[in-house]
Amino acid sequence: MEKLSADVLVIGGGATGAGVAWDAALRGLDVVLVERGDLATGTSGRFHGLLHSGGRYAVKDPSAAHECARENGVVRHVAADCVEDTGGLFVATPFDDPAYADRFAEGCRKTGVPCEEIEPARALREEPRLNPGISRAFRVPDGSIEVWKLVWALARGAQDRGARVLPYHEVVAVHRGGDQVHGARVRNTRTGQELDVEAAVTVSASGAWAGQIAAMAGIEGVHVKPGRGIMIAMSHRLVNTVINRCQLPTDGDIIVPIETVCVIGTTDVGTDDPDDHTIIQAEVDAMLEDGERLVPGFKQARALRVWTGVRPLFEDRKENGATDTRDVTRAHALLDHRERDGVTGFFTITGGKLTTYRLMAEETVDAVCLQLGDARPCTTSAEPLAGSENGEYHRVGDRLGRREQRLLDDQLICECELIPRKRIEETIRWRGTTDLDDLRRLLRLGMGPCQGGFCIYRVAGILHGLDGIDTPDANAGLIDYVRERWKGVWPVLYGDQLRQARLDEWIYQGVLDVEHLQ
């Protein structure tokens, strides 16, 4: 069996795990990162894209609010190319308790969240689709963040410093001898091949799956309470600022503009299974109704798709557990299992928010270095990721601007997201993948209004003609992608989206006969 050795094995390829790998690699440690799927396909890739100011938790969860307020500016500096500086507003609608606004302002002051009250008329001038009945408005430094760009920037930065990043490698056993964890066995989920990774320290950054990984190491009592939530992407930006209702966090109380769409979220329902991606139609309908409270006419806009994410909400086994997932803190937890359980060489980092990924990674690698007896300084708060060196934020019009400069240089394959053929071919070769979903995450391929209806069969053709990929593999990639997109489309089949789905059906069933492709 093939074997690898490293100073640090990181289990989990979301923002936290990639952040740990980047931090550890910057400190000169030899790192292996494993993820059972593609990078950022767990919780990190299944949220609404919000870069938190901390305002959302300023009243109910001050610790999480303080963490977000602290890290917001740091992430803007080191990952500027992944961030759109939309700004944020908390608005008191006619459906909200008027008294909460003063509690919100005081909570922001205490937790360090920058907050400025502005006149409702000014908020309505800036965002004319807002409910005209808003009575108060507060400006905060919310933003939106492109998570796959962020996570791959972290991973590639770690690779450039010697780290080995292994997506599609699932942990099947954690190696423990006595009171020492010394790595894990992983299986390539595509080939079935297994390999052993020997490591001085193993870090579980597996989020909602942290309890399962700890159990593999023979450690019980790592209670991560999964909170499942749905989000809905609308076909265009109904607002250009992150809009929050000024109330305690609840369902359907935030709209985040990200890239060319906006996303409303989110429900919060406890589940026993971190892989639970159940979509309940009643929740979808209720979410659309909630959108009406913030933006009248929201339900008449075109909804593109629905998806779910599962939050990793950590509950200490020594404390009384919350009965409602919204009552569990969003702050992170770092567990040193030598101190907690008498097991050396094993850490769990879980909870937190994507906004706090860097802080979580810093604290984790600090603890790793302490256990290794080799203290090394953290530099991730000052070291920009590749592409962010100039400190310029991403802008929604950047891709169009670049395309207009070279209209005749390259064939356009995805009109919705303005993706040319050359970039698709370069990405296929770099990733060595025939999975169209991998390409979607890296390029936003097929994420526009047609949901792949016009571009995916073109990319399947490119796959077939590139580097000898055979017909069955290209056809399989096409079918898998269409099936995956359908999961998120069917709950919002009404109006324009239903018409689009019918057109896609004619293309894929009537013309291409995808059900009978060989």
Mean pLDDT for all residues in the chain? 93
- Reading the block at residue 348, the tokens are 């769990």
Instruction: Please say if the pLDDT value at position 277 is more than 80.
Output: yes
Beta-sheet strands, E only, within 164-220: 164-166, 169-177, 180-188, 194-204
pTM confidence score: 0.94
Beta-sheet strands, E only, within 316-393: 332-336, 346-351
Domain boundaries, the chain: 2-43+148-224+316-372, 83-143+226-309, 398-516
467 vs 175, higher pLDDT: 175
CATH class belonging to 2-43+148-224+316-372 = alpha beta
The tens digit of pLDDT for each residue in 245-271 reads: 999 999 999 999 999 999 998 999 999
Q: Is 386 left (phi over 0), alpha (psi -120 to 50) or beta?
A: beta
Please give the CATH number for the structural domain made up of 83-143+226-309. Answer: 3.30.9.10
Closest alpha carbon to 417 in 304, 293, 307, 269: 304
- CB within 8 Å of 390: residues ≥ 6 apart: 80
Instruction: Please say if the pLDDT value at position 319 is more than 60.
Output: no
Beta-sheet strands, E only, within 191-292: 194-204, 223-234, 242-245, 254-258, 261-265, 269-270
- Reading the block at residue 248, the tokens are 């305690």
For 122-136, 191-205, 293-307, 429-443, which range has the lowest pLDDT when averaged over its residues? Answer: 429-443
Q: What are phi and psi of 414, to 5 degrees?
A: -115, 105
Rounded CA separation 62/294 (Å): 25
- CB within 8 Å of 321: residues ≥ 6 apart: 223, 225, 315
The tens digit of pLDDT for each residue in 165-213 reads: 999 999 999 999 999 999 999 999 999 999 999 999 999 999 999 999 9
Is residue 128 very low, low, confident or very high in pLDDT (cuts 50, 70, 90)? very high
What is the rounded (10 degree) CA torsion for 378, 379, 384, 385? -40
Rounded CA separation 274/291 (Å): 27
Task: Give the end-to-end CA distance of the chain in Å, rounded to a whole number.
Answer: 35
Rounded CA separation 161/29 (Å): 9
The tens digit of pLDDT for each residue in 326-341 reads: 556 667 899 999 999 9
Candidate ranges 118-122, 233-237, 417-421; pick with highest mean pLDDT? 118-122
* CA-based max dimension of the chain: 67
CA-CA-CA-CA torsion sign (402, 405, 409, 412): positive
- Reading the block at residue 409, the tokens are 């240089």
User: For residue 109, what pLDDT is reported?
Assistant: 98
SS3 annotation, 456-496: HHHHHHHHHHCCCCCHHHHHHHHHHHHHHHHHHHHHHCCHH
For 103-112, 355-364, 471-480, which range has the lowest pLDDT when averaged over its residues? Answer: 471-480
Strands 50-51 and 164-166: unpaired
Rounded CA separation 127/163 (Å): 45
Beta carbons of 253 and 267 less than 8 angstroms apart: no
CA-CA-CA-CA torsion sign (198, 204, 206, 209): positive
The tens digit of pLDDT for each residue in 420-462 reads: 999 999 999 888 888 999 999 999 999 988 889 999 999 999 9
Q: What is the mean pLDDT of residues 311-325?
A: 64
Rounded CA separation 211/275 (Å): 13
465 vs 359, higher pLDDT: 359
Instruction: Please say if the pLDDT value at position 318 is more than 50.
Output: no
The tens digit of pLDDT for each residue in 94-115 reads: 999 999 999 999 999 999 999 9
Beta carbons of 319 and 329 less than 8 angstroms apart: no
Beta carbons of 208 and 270 less than 8 angstroms apart: no
* 195: exposed, middle or buried (Cβ count in 10 Å: 0-12, 13-18, 19+): middle
How many Cβ atoms sit within 10 Å of the Cβ of residue 386?
12
User: For residue 330, what pLDDT is reported?
Assistant: 64
Closest alpha carbon to 50 in 390, 311, 279: 311
